[in-house]
Structure 1
């Protein structure tokens, strides 16, 4: 292999250069396709196991936890979430840097951006935890991961909407205004179906009515899908940006 001097033009070219929009699409499509595959396989091959609950009444849709805890569904889901987790951390860091630049002289918004970053980390870690520890293996750990994911997700969206309300207030960019409106609508949509999912879950456990758990599962799907759509708004926020891996200039090496 030919070695190139450090100061040459070829050496200083980026090793990897990916448009941020492409990264955002790939990051969201991995869990989306994984979820669809898991639910379809659970219905086709494990219908009874995936829809069974302690009530023993007929149900027609598996919950997300049930769909990703069977085999081979669990391995498909783990593969997709494992690949998508690293870009999620990168995107969280990109947003944190973006907020710091926008609110460099405003302490309250700076502190809120730190909280938003920590909530994004919490959401992603919770997702990894509930993914790699299934409900059939260690239910208490899976439940903790689920609570961590849902709590981090809802409060992350809330803090993000607050930050973007400040950005939209002083912005003349149509993309930023569109991004803020989408974020706000998706947050409200997500919260509504979180409450509906909780209602159907409690009702199922209390009355054991046929089909009610399927309503819970349907609401759960919409919660997850709206969460993915919320993160997809990064497509608008970083439309002109690129992710690059490059050799640092000679004077900046340590």
Structure 2
């Protein structure tokens, strides 16, 4: 007759409090590489298997690149790849936004501490709105509810540009305490942010130029130029936010997930 062994309370608690460790750098790499994978895979698949469908426009002129909306809204499996990637990416991006806000609020060398938390919380709220509009863009295509898709795109671009601009302005112009000197790491990260912000806003306005030129004149390949700079807008937005990988201490430790 076999005997049943009962575990002690300490052993049971130890099993129930098992945890998984993920390094901060791997967590950040996952969060910022996933949307890049979604973009390249969806556009690549559209070019390979849905070229005519994804590059077709209202005036039926030749184009060599598909828009992101056409790739993820009209074509399969691109639609599901895009939505799955952003479903997996949404929680890490919200978590990063929260962790970054908490880190910024703990900067003790910042002057004007009476209003600094309010400014940073407002900027973080704008970033949260940016991520939320991006989710709406992801899950509501222009073929489903066009006005929501368009409003989400406008909201995403406004919040993205405002958040980037406010962050750059705080980095460069917010006063520090007299005894604090900007170190080389801070100079490097704020320089990268400024670079990606400038490239992003230039790409956005160039894409608008090609978009309206296409609608006005319906020239061949002009819509493809709009699509190309649309890709640049997305990639430079990711690159801007990924600067946090340089800003955070690479030895910051690990994120613990309990199960």
TM-score (norm 2): 0.87
Indicate the SS of the match to 2:144. Answer: coil
Q: Deviations over 1:67-107 (max 9, x none)?
A: 11121101000000010110110011011111211148523
User: What is the correspondence of 1:142-221 to structure 2 with a 5 Å cutoff?
Assistant: 142-166=149-173, 170-221=180-231
Structure 1 residues 171, 60: CA separation in 2 closer, same or farther (over 3 Å shift)? farther
1:4–1:11 Cα contact (<8 Å) kept: no
Shift of 1:167: 7.1
Is 1:109 the counterpart of 2:116? The answer is: yes
Is 1:28 the counterpart of 2:32? The answer is: yes
Q: Deviations over 1:218-243 (max 9, x none)?
A: 00000100011011111112223234
* Counterpart for residue 132 of structure 2: 125
Unpaired stretches in structure 2, ≥5 consecutive residues: 1-5
Mean alpha-carbon deviation: is it higher for 219-228 or for 108-117? 108-117
2:127–2:159 Cα contact (<8 Å) kept: yes
* Counterpart for residue 222 of structure 1: 232
1:65–1:134 Cα contact (<8 Å) kept: yes
Structure 1 residues 2, 150: CA separation in 2 closer, same or farther (over 3 Å shift)? farther
* Counterpart for residue 56 of structure 2: 52
In structure 1, how many angstroms separate the alpha carbons of the residues matched to 2:228 and 2:40?
A: 13
In structure 1, how many angstroms separate the alpha carbons of the residues matched to 2:149 and 2:246?
A: 33
Q: 2:251 aligned to 205, 226, 240, which one?
A: 240
CA RMSD of aligned residues (A): 2.5
Q: Deviations over 1:88-139 (max 9, x none)?
A: 1001101111121114852333222112111111111111001001111111
TM-score (norm 1): 0.88
Matched residue count: 246
2:211–2:223 Cα contact (<8 Å) kept: yes
Shift of 1:246: 6.7
Structure 1 residues 104, 168: CA separation in 2 closer, same or farther (over 3 Å shift)? closer
Unpaired stretches in structure 1, ≥5 consecutive residues: 248-254
Structure 1 residues 4, 198: CA separation in 2 closer, same or farther (over 3 Å shift)? farther
In structure 1, how many angstroms separate the alpha carbons of the residues matched to 2:58 and 2:223?
A: 11
Indicate the SS of the match to 2:216. Answer: helix
